[in-house]
Structures are given as C-alpha cells and as structure tokens.
Amino acid sequence: MGGGGVRLLILGGTGDAAELARRVVEIPALEVRVSLAGRTRQPGEVSGLVRVGGFGGVAGLVDYLEAEKIDLLVDATHPFAAKISENAAVAAKQTGIRNLMLVRPGWEKLPGDDWYEVESVEAAAEMLPSLGKRVFLTIGRQQLDRFSHLHDTWFLMRSIDPPETQIPGGKLLCDRGPFSLDNEKQLLQKYQIDTLVSKNSGGDATYAKIIAARELGIKVIMIQRPPIPHGEKVTDVDAALKWLKEFP
C-alpha cells in the first residue's frame, strides 16, 4: 500500500470519472490519482492528483502502477476508449491489482426512434450516403476524417476542440456538453438536418440530441460500442463508491 492509505488510480476523461474523483473524499482512507489522456486542451475541473498523457502501452502502465504503488484501479474511461480499457485490464492482471470498470449503460431504442445501428465509425460513413444529405455528425473530433470523402453530403460537426485532421465539408461548432433539448432541436431545424450520426455513449449529458431527433422524425445512425474487457463492472458512480468502500 502507498504511504497514507489505499492508493486509487482513476482512469478518466469522462463526467463519471470527474464525479467519482470528487466523491471519493467520502472515503478518507483512499488516496486518489486521476489520469487523463490529454486530448482536450482545457479539461473540465478534476479533483485529486491529476496526471496527463499516455503511459506508453501496457508496459508503461505496469511501470506506473508499480512506481506509484497503486492498490486499486477504476477504469472510468469513455465506452469508446477501447484501447486504454484493454491495457488497464491486462496491466491489472499482470500486477495483481483489482480493476473495476465503470461502464454507464448504453441508450436503448425507444418508440419513435428511427435508428440504423452500425458497428463502427467506418460502417456509419459507408451507410450515410444512402440515408441523408444534411448530417449532424457528433462523434467527437478524432475520426471526422473518415467522412471527408463524402463530397455530396453537408456536415454540421461538433467537438470540444477543433479537429487536427482533415474534416468533411460543412460547419464546425466547438462546444462542450451538457446540451439542452431546446438547443439540440434548434440546431437540427436551423441547419435542416435529415440524419444524425452518434456513438452510443449513454448517459444524460449528450442524450438530448437523441430525443430531439426522435421528436423531429430525424434518422439516427447509431454506432455500437466496442467490446469491453472481462472483469468486474458497475454502471454508475454510486456503485463504484460502494465497491471502493470495501477496501479501507
């Protein structure tokens, strides 16, 4: 164990990770570190000792866990951040550290939803020309280039920071959620959007666009989540805290 008590590393980059970091103060025996990938220029406020940047694969993560004498790991990364979750699961196994995955539930299709479910961003790009011409592309900024060959489609894109890669033709909005239903409806109407492309991220912060599409009869290409590693899982912050309270 680390000096002051049980040392916890939270792998972050999500609202759930930030909330967990804020609330682990409820457990005085825990000393917490939070790791961010460093993708956003100005990350939201995060409690605890924060480190930023990749570890250097599984080997780098194992080195970090050992050097920092980490006792427990909570992987609270985004459901689409598959690489870091896989690395965390492998590194935890190698070091014998308990790893809890905090995986919020995906959104479920409801009556009125016109969803086209696909397995990947690439599959969404392949399907898109057969569905729509004016598209709201809300997949973050890292994979926008997968759509840049679609010259007959107009894109409204939204990401926290401007993309570094080539983006498709259209308009870019830099904004950070949560977004209100009114905001999302106005955007869809103002730009005459006929199709929304979204990852099935789950959670409340970005769900309004899905409700707006349902209410306005707009098609949604919903990108399914990548597989999650085997291991211990909870679906919300309360359950993660309960799990952590077992380790003083």
Counting contacts by CB under 6 A, is residue 84 touching ligand NAP? yes
CA–chain centroid gap for 210, Å, is: 16
Q: Could you tell me the two tokens for 229?
A: 């590693």
Counting contacts by CB under 6 A, is residue 77 touching ligand NAP? yes
Counting contacts by CB under 6 A, is residue 39 touching ligand NAP? yes
Length of the chain: 248
Counting contacts by CB under 6 A, is residue 136 touching ligand NAP? no
Cα separation, 207 vs 104, in Å, equals: 13
Residue from 7, 8, 9, 11 binding ligand NAP (CB under 6 A): 11
Closest Cα to residue 141, out of 122, 158, 156, 118? Answer: 158
Place of tokens 């666009």: 209
Closest Cα to residue 229, out of 16, 75, 9? Answer: 75
Counting contacts by CB under 6 A, is residue 56 touching ligand NAP? yes
Give the interface segment with ligand NAP, choosing from 66-74, 75-83, 92-100, 204-212 (CB under 6 A): 75-83
Compute the least distance from the CB of residue 179 to ligand NAP, in Å. 14
Compute the least distance from the CB of residue 202 to ligand NAP, in Å. 11
Counting contacts by CB under 6 A, is residue 178 touching ligand NAP? no
Residue from 30, 35, 157, 240 binding ligand NAP (CB under 6 A): 35
For 19, which DSSP code?
H
If the CB atoms of residues 54 and 169 are measured against ligand NAP, the closer one turns out to be 54
Counting contacts by CB under 6 A, is residue 36 touching ligand NAP? yes
Q: Are 194 and 218 in contact (CB under 8 A)?
A: yes
If the CB atoms of residues 67 and 151 are measured against ligand NAP, the closer one turns out to be 67
Residues 59, 101, 31, 1: is their CA dihedral positive or negative?
negative
Compute the least distance from the CB of residue 144 to ligand NAP, in Å. 12
Counting contacts by CB under 6 A, is residue 93 touching ligand NAP? no
Cα separation, 234 vs 229, in Å, equals: 13
Q: Are 83 and 58 in contact (CB under 8 A)?
A: no
Q: Could you tell me the two tokens for 193?
A: 């959007």
Counting contacts by CB under 6 A, is residue 81 touching ligand NAP? yes
List residues binding ligand NAP (CB under 6 A).
Answer: 11-14, 35-37, 39, 54-57, 60-61, 77-78, 80-84, 87, 140, 199
